[in-house]
Every structure is written in C-alpha cells, then in structure tokens.
Amino acid sequence: MNIQEIKETLTRVSFADSNLNMGWEWDIRVSKIYDDNGTTLEKGYVIRTTFMRPDILTGEIDKGYGRWMYIPENITTDGLVKTAWVCAELIVKHELMEAFLYDNKKIFDPHKSLKDLQHNATDVKKVVVDPDKVIKSEPILVKEGSTKSSEEVFHKQNVGNHIQEIKGFLDVTYKKVNIRNENVKRYAAKMFIIDLHLAKNGLTFSDSNGAILESLTGPEYTLSKLKEILDKYELLGLENSDDPGLINEIIIESGYTEVNKHITKNENDLNIWKYINPKNSSRYILHSETNKFISMVNKNNDIIGTVEDGEYNYDNVKKLLSGTK
C-alpha cells in the first residue's frame, strides 16, 4: 500500500454515535527498518490515532495522541484495519484507567512509571525452591514515606512519564542541536533554544543570546506547562520541517514511487534513494536522508533543481516538486 491508499482505507473507519465517538483522526508517516549497518531491511509506515479528551491537568478539551504502530509496505487492508483497531483500543483502555476512581483517587493511573509501580509494590523474599516441597515466600513490608502535598506526590509518581512525553514531543516537533552534554537534550525553535535537563528533571527556555526566559521544574515540569510557554511565544504547532521522514511523505504524496537505492562512488558512500513518477517519465528524484539533500533530474540525467543545506525543509522541497523553485 502507498500513503494515499492507507489514507483512503482509514477514512472508511468510523465510530458509531456513542461515548466512544471521541473525534478520532489518523496520522501517517513513512518509516523504515534498518540493520546495524544502516541498510534498509524493510520499508513501511507508522500510524497512530488522535482524539479529543480533557487535558489531565487543565481539564480543557484538547487533542491527544496515541502510540505509533508500524505497518509494512505490503500490508493488506485486513491488517491495516486491525492495526487501526489496536490503536483505538489502546486509547480507550488508557482513558478508562485515567477516569476510573476509588474514593476520588486514580488507582490505575496509566502514567505511573516502572519506578513508581515498584515503589508501591511488595518485595518478595528470595528463596531456594526444594523440588520436593512447596515453599511460600514471606512479604517484606515497605515503610511509608513522609507526608507530602497531593501535588508533590502526583508529580513524583508521574515524573517519568512527563520526561518521556516532553522528550517525545520535542523530538518530533523541533530540530535537535548537538551539544557535549549527555544529560542535556537541546532543541532549536526559531530564535529560541529549549534545553531538556534529563538528570535534573527540568527544562529551560532561552533566547538566541542564551538568556533563560522560562524554566520548568518540580510540579511545573509537564508537557501541558511546556505547551503554555510555546503558545506564549507563538511557537506551538511548529513541525520539524527538515525531518527526512516528512520529506519522504511529500515525495510520495507528489506522485513519486521509490524504486531503488544507489550507492554513489565517492569517499562518503552516501545512500541516495531514487524515486520515479509513473505519470511523468521525463524526470526523477534523488534523495539522501543522511546528508539531507534532494535533487530533481531530467531524462538526460541533468540536475534541474536541488534543495540542500539550510534550504532542505518542507516548503522548499514542495516548491521543487511542484516546479516553482
């Protein structure tokens, strides 16, 4: 299947009028599976569902995102629709765990990390099992900690999830910047810098001169609070426009089909992917995901347009493919 066929199939998935009609929509992206040497083993796509629900902290109705699920390029309609079911089923279970309360407390909180669950679990004494006997282990009681505010407890129990949510959001939304600090992930958002401090469980938002404008720590360290900051500076909703996966989507949506991979004979051995348009044999596309450039070539193998370096982004590639650049 290609992206257009997947989109058309997913438009046929609907939900009857009920409390489960949650404004479902679908996201689709090109994906590949590589081996340790960077060779493509399999080509396909990832899909996820989006839906409308009350935000966990603000209570405002906002869009939620499900987990990406991989589907191979040769997936059948049956396989695609059943994968779409799994995407929706995960969301329904997740939201039910959010909403189910006992004494007004969330007892099946899906946002708890493994460390949170281990903290509240009962340790089991290790024993050597005699094959001729049944030995019961004795539980070791976990002592209760000091009393803290409900907000502090809530944050501590969910901080692992907050880290993953924030990092996942930043990874697919903004361009990563390489720095020599394994405990800090840096992202560029227009003229601003976002530093995700993994060791300290915090985040700083700075201008181009390095001056810290905002910071998130403690109970404030949540994806919801980060989005408030991004919205304040009119940055919310931006996409990582030079993501090779996004560029692949544009190529395919423009009518091109990947036909093969050609290894150039230079010292870098660049992986360059070739795309043809069955409806237009007068030109084809060469795309390097690693070095981020895309070229349009005519039937005489002359390059008639290239987007590379700082121009490699969604808008410029779209202009190249449409012949306006």
Distances (CA, A) of 97 to 49, 73, 109, 114, 168: 18, 33, 6, 16, 22
Question: Packing angle between helix 244-253 and helix 314-322, nearest 10 degrees?
Answer: 20
The pLDDT score that the predictor gives to residue 8 is 92
Distances (CA, A) of 2 to 49, 72, 133: 18, 10, 60
Which of 48, 59, 50 is CA-nearest to residue 22? Answer: 50
Each domain of the chain, given as residue ranges in start order, spans 3-106, 114-232, 244-322
Tokens describing residue 194: 């976002």
The amino acid at residue 8 is: E
Q: What is the pLDDT along the chain (325 residues), one digit of tens a residue?
A: 888 899 999 999 998 888 888 889 999 998 888 878 778 788 899 999 999 988 776 778 888 889 899 999 889 999 999 999 999 999 999 989 988 988 888 888 888 777 777 776 767 666 665 666 554 445 444 444 444 555 566 556 666 667 878 888 888 788 888 888 888 999 988 789 999 998 888 999 998 788 999 999 888 888 888 989 998 888 876 556 677 767 877 788 788 887 766 555 444 555 788 888 888 888 899 988 778 889 999 988 899 999 988 888 878 888 888 887 6
